[in-house]
Amino acid sequence: MKAHIVTLPGDGVGPEVTAAAVAVLQAVAARYSHEFSFEEQAIGGCAIDAFGEPLPAAALAACQQADAVLLGAVGGPKWSDPNAPVRPEQGLLALRAALGVYANLRPLQVHPALAALSPLKNEKLKNVDVLFVRELTGGAYFGAKTRTADTATDECKYTVAEVERVVRRAFDLARDRRRHVTSVDKANVLETSRLWRSTVQRIAADYPDVKLEHQLVDSMAMLLLTQPSRYDVVVTENLFGDILTDEAAALAGSLGLLPSASLGEGSNGLYEPIHGSAPDIAGQNVANPTGAILSAAMLLRHSLQLEAEAVAIEAAVDHVLTHGPHTRDIGGQASTTQIRDAVLAAFEAHA
Ligand code: ATP
Ligand code: MG
């Protein structure tokens, strides 16, 4: 198949990990006879430096016309002055809004070979395979805000339609997994959560084959640490999802391992590792490219419907995590490019 992929390497380690992910996508194209074209665009701090804005019009237009978008990371100390007129993160928020990507998917696995790095102590707890589905374009982050000298408000608003589309996505995803959805809310206190829960209950009737469980967000924060292997798909609103997914990321052992996908109505999507620009290690060829490479696998799966290719990349990554080499963040000595080459070798050997 033909696909046009826009890359937004961004700042810090973004270009290094994105280059590794692109190399893997090129190997997939060669191995499976696909025609992938790549177009690099600027976002974040580097775009502010070059064009005076964090999401130049040309970059946005390219992303809107692409079949999928692969992003590295944005931001860094050079652009972190809170009084600066423009900030790198604004580019990412504007891109998410423009692409209408309301469902943020974050798979979490604790790889057996890295179990020692996880803060989870009990071996049985380490068999973790959770897919978080976080609502990304509503709730308190986007509601009206007010501020006077001594009072501030953040409106948290959800419509049934906003809840329904992300919850349906979660149920659909559960059908390809272990058919268990956990919906997280605070329905004992919040009206938006009561709307969320009643909407989830109505939609669940269309998925009799999927088991539904409700959890309050405060208990869920605890259960993620005490019984993480119980969960399959976890769906929740924007703010709760932001907090729970960062908590969950800590279980994996390193931020550098985890991918994400942000999806909307069409097949286009935004794919990025969950880590930030890691300015402390940028430019040294030591960043772990695994999260970026697994994001490329999610791109193949969700935007291009190339499931076998996605699985082949995941298997290659699994092979490297199991047998090494490993980057410094997970206790090894290997460079970014050595991990790229090891994943490519495992892919060529097994695909
Ligand atoms: P942001 O504000 O952009 O989310 P952050 O403050 O969460 O960023 P990161 O940039 O993700 O922070 O970095 C947090 C720590 O994790 C740093 O010490 C960084 O070096 C490390 N880190 C992040 N990504 C990677 C990676 N791919 N490989 C190795 N270490 C990483
Ligand atoms: Mg962060």
Closest alpha carbon to 6 in 21, 100, 16: 21
Atom 11 of ligand 1, residue of closest alpha carbon: 276
Residue 249 CA to ligand 2 center (angstroms) comes to: 10
Q: With bands split at pLDDT 50, 70 and 90, how would you rate the model's confidence at 124? A: low
Report the pLDDT value the prediction gives residue 145, as an integer from 0 to 100: 93
Pairing of strands 2-10, 233-236: unpaired
ipTM, two decimals: 0.95
pLDDT of residue 1: 94
Q: How much distance in Å is there from the Cα of 160 to the middle of ligand 1?
A: 35
Residue 12 pLDDT > 80, yes or no?
A: yes
Contact present, 288 and 324 (Cβ < 8 Å): no
Per-residue confidence (pLDDT) for residue 113, from 0 to 100: 87
pTM confidence score = 0.94
- 129-141 residue pLDDT tens: 999 999 999 999 8
Instruction: List the residue whose alpha carbon is closest to atom 26 of ligand 1.
Output: 256
Label residue 287 by pLDDT band (50, 70, 90).
very high
253-269 mean pLDDT: 95
Residue 82 pLDDT exceeds 90: no
Ligand 1: residue of 43, 255, 328 to mutate (most ligand atoms within 8 A of CB) is 255
pLDDT of residue 216: 98
Residue 242 among the catalytic residues: yes
pLDDT (tens digit per residue) in 36-69: 999 999 999 999 999 999 999 999 999 999 999 9
Query: What is the Å distance from ligand 1's center to 100 Cα?
Result: 26
Q: Fill in the amino acid letter for 226.
A: T
